[in-house]
């Protein structure tokens, strides 16, 4: 089974409250997701101009490296993977100290040569966000990072995103164009839109196996990124449905013609070979001695008449009684 990988996105939803962030991590543990993603910015001036209207507010949301140490240790203590999205070079120091499952490159950092070069000094697997990027741009990044890019993440942030704008069918073509990479989907539908759940199912059926979703402790409560952040109930629904698709809908090629128990029962309903008249012992069977009929139940019945033609009966076979190999020679 090709099991999907699912992680919670925290972004700046914590608003600089480390206790709130820990509660999100606790919820991730309870939900049994695979990991938690952290957008790490240690110096706001490395990422945002001092003239930006949100400079001071964003500054208040930033944790120090010491605080991130606390967060990362706590996450690992709960058995959760860490997905690190560094927004400045200093954030990468955390990858020196902790086992980071993936380094995730934000689409806004796609051309930040200094950050990308610093990331390339690490051997961690990379998730590359490809929202708003053309094929050539993606290919150039693959060349730049060589073997390190493992996941191409479809989806973009417009908080919230309308599904018709996301171009979800792109997943199918990205998978064909880049067959050696896993395809991910980062949904940003409005928390109160049915597609906040359904789009993930569509993405899985199209071929995505890595999923990222914004999570909140209080769905609909206004705070950073609340527009596309869902609560426990919807998150559990997504997990359950993707797990169902993994286990019961999508199968590996080698299992395409392997029958499950229900299919075996259905197969056994097929017509079997029966005598079309009373056939005496020692008779040599011909096609006109055989009919095909449904029977109530039976074992060792024959449904392929070629296994009967030319065989000799060892007993008398009554009309409508199935032929059995043990009664033939």
Number of domains in the chain: 2
As a whole number, mean pLDDT of residues 214-224 equals 96
pLDDT per residue as tens digits for the range 269-320:
889 999 999 999 999 999 999 999 999 876 789 999 999 999 999 999 999 9
37 and 130, same domain (yes or no): yes
pLDDT at 1: 55
Share of the chain above pLDDT 90, in %: 85
pLDDT at 81: 99
79 and 218, same domain (yes or no): yes
- Tally: H helices and E strands in the chain: 11, 10
CATH number of the structural domain spanning residue 166: 3.20.20.70
284 and 218, same domain (yes or no): no
Whether the per-residue pLDDT at 171 is higher than 90: the answer is yes
pLDDT at 157: 67
Structure tokens at 103: 């380094």
CATH number of the structural domain spanning residue 309: 3.90.1210.10
46 and 159, same domain (yes or no): yes
Choose the final residue of a domain: 253, 270, 304. Answer: 253
pLDDT per residue as tens digits for the range 188-211:
999 999 999 999 999 999 999 999
pLDDT per residue as tens digits for the range 238-272:
999 999 999 999 987 777 788 888 888 888 888 99
Judged by average pLDDT, the poorest of 38-42, 121-125, 223-227 is: 223-227
Q: Among all chains, which residue has been given the structure tokens 């980062």? A: 186
215 contacts: CB under 8 Å, gap ≥ 6: 8, 9, 10, 13, 24, 27, 28, 229, 230, 231, 235
Choose the final residue of a domain: 236, 253, 270. Answer: 253
Owning domain of residue 35: 5-253
Q: Are 150 and 125 in contact (CB under 8 A)?
A: yes
The reply to whether omega before 302 is within 30° of 0 (cis) is no
């Amino acid at each position: 089974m090709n099991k999907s990988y699912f992680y919670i996105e925290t972004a700046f939803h914590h608003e600089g409250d480390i206790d709130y962030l820990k509660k999100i991590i606790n919820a991730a543990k309870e939900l049994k997701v695979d990991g938690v993603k952290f957008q790490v910015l240690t110096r706001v001036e490395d990422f945002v101009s001092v003239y930006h209207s949100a400079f001071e507010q964003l500054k208040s949301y930033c944790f120090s490296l010491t605080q991130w140490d606390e967060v990362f240790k706590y996450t690992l203590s709960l058995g959760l993977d860490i997905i690190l999205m560094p927004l400045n070079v200093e954030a990468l120091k955390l990858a020196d100290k902790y086992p980071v499952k993936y380094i995730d490159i934000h689409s806004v950092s796609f051309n930040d040569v200094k950050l990308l070069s610093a990331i390339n000094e690490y051997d961690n697997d990379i998730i590359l966000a490809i929202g708003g990027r053309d094929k050539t741009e993606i290919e150039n990044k693959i060349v730049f990072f060589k073997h390190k890019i493992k996941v191409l993440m479809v989806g973009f942030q417009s908080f919230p995103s309308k599904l018709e704008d996301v171009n979800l069918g792109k997943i199918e073509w990205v998978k064909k164009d880049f067959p050696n990479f896993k395809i991910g989907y980062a949904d940003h539908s409005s928390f109160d839109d049915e597609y906040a759940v359904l789009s993930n199912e569509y993405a899985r059926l199209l071929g995505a196996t890595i999923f990222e979703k914004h999570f909140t402790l209080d769905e609909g409560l206004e705070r950073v990124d609340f527009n596309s952040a869902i609560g426990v109930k919807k998150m559990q629904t997504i997990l359950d449905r993707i797990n169902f698709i993994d286990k019961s809908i999508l199968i590996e090629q080698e299992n395409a013609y392997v029958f499950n128990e229900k299919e075996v029962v259905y197969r056994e309903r097929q017509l079997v070979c029966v005598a079309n008249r009373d056939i005496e012992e020692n008779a040599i069977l011909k096609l006109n001695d055989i009919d095909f009929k449904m029977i109530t139940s039976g074992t060792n019945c024959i449904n392929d008449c070629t296994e009967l033609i030319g065989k000799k009966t060892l007993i008398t076979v009554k009309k409508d009684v199935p032929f059995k190999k043990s009664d033939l020679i």
